Amino acid sequence: MPARELDTELAACRNDDERAARLRARPFFGVPLLLKDVGAATAHRGLPSRAGSRLFPQGAPWPVDGTLTQRYLAAGFVPFGRSTSPEMGMSASTEAVAYGGPTRNPWNRAHSSGGSSGGAAAATASGMTTIAHANDGAGSIRIPASACGLIGLKPSRGLMPTERRLRIGLIKQFYEGDAVHPEVAAVLQEFALQLQRLGHAVEEASIDFTTHEVVFPVMQGVATGTALFLDQLAASRGRAIDPGEVEPVVWSAYQHARSVKATDYLAAINTFHRLGRRMAVFHERFDLLLTPTLAEPPAVLGRFTMDRPDFIDYRLGPTGLWRYTPFCPLANATGAPAISLPVGRSASGLPIGAMLSALHGQDLLLLQLAAQWEAVHGPVPLAGERP
């Protein structure tokens, strides 16, 4: 809703009681909001989308407002622009050619703000906005939250409030046992001690599957979803997508999807269900899973540019994105909620995040624990407010 309409609405209130009731009905009354430049859920008739792609040089207009946009407007938010994203939201670093340059980390401009919601995180961490919309297909909220020192929640589809002493399983290395960056490990260990001092039980744990077992079916879904979108675009405009119109990683994903059989796709869905069942067994022992959000501090810009010709190698090769973000895709595969908290800094002052994951539907439990921790350790500083 435009700010002028909100002003008129508030001015029409005849007394303090009516004003208070109006503000209760719209809890984010007048709060500016950036909408991420990817996804139909945040379609907005006044804010065209580019999806980080040269396919939409002027932005693709939306004929109607998306469901999520409608809810934001009903809550009183004032959307005023789009935040940057890698092309089609396909990278953990926001460096889309379409925007003319990378989205930089406010803590250190030589480093990545993460992705794919890198623009949302950079805008919030820099103080441009106090809150921003994002979405998360394989860590796209939690990765930039960790890189920019913010809180980022990837929600599940339901809520289940609970109050109890929590049992937290700690995994501080790759699922295969490889060590994460030593500064990340040290920050995670200190955060585990902070949780213990809050009265929770933290115990080292392990999971009996590999990172590739999680990430590969997620990437199958990413590739086929990208192909569906590009096929629909080609049909609507009456001509095929040319490889020069998209970045090489996106083109490779498009081609890879052609090799994915229906049985391959169903196998990926079956893997998601199997991982969900295995995590249900994990949660019989532990209320929450604690891991790093990223395996190392925020990447230097240029490391994950999307000019690579092989989508699978870009994601799963020896130096692929899975070595940077091995932990986030699990919650996307299972549908569980997960939250990244800005719990420490590297020696050079870059943010380091820790991630907590819960059973499906226990979003509120994550928010309650985050609030408990923040009440003791203070509000999250922005990039211009270095502790």
The residues carrying an active-site annotation are: 36, 116, 140
Q: Judge residue 132's burial from the number of C-beta atoms within 10 Å of its C-beta, 0-12 exposed, 13-18 middle, 19 or more buried.
A: buried
Residue bearing tokens 């250190």: 108
| DSSP, res 317 | S
Distance set, CA 109 to CA 11, 37, 248, 387 (Å): 43, 21, 25, 18
3-state secondary structure at position 178? coil
Amino acid residing at 239: R
The first and second tokens of residue 280, run together, are: 């249900």
Termini Cα distance of the chain: 36
| DSSP, res 126 | T
The rounded distance, in Å, linking the Cα atoms of 239 and 233 is 9
Distance set, CA 365 to CA 134, 284, 338, 377 (Å): 21, 16, 10, 18
Distance set, CA 67 to CA 42, 102, 113, 164, 287 (Å): 7, 30, 27, 35, 32
The first and second tokens of residue 276, run together, are: 């969900």
CB within 8 Å of 344: residues ≥ 6 apart:
186, 187, 190, 191, 351, 352, 354
Give the number of other Cβ atoms within 10 Å of residue 192's Cβ. Answer: 20
Q: Which of 86, 114, 153 is nearest to 294 (CA)?
A: 114
Give the number of other Cβ atoms within 10 Å of residue 348's Cβ. Answer: 11
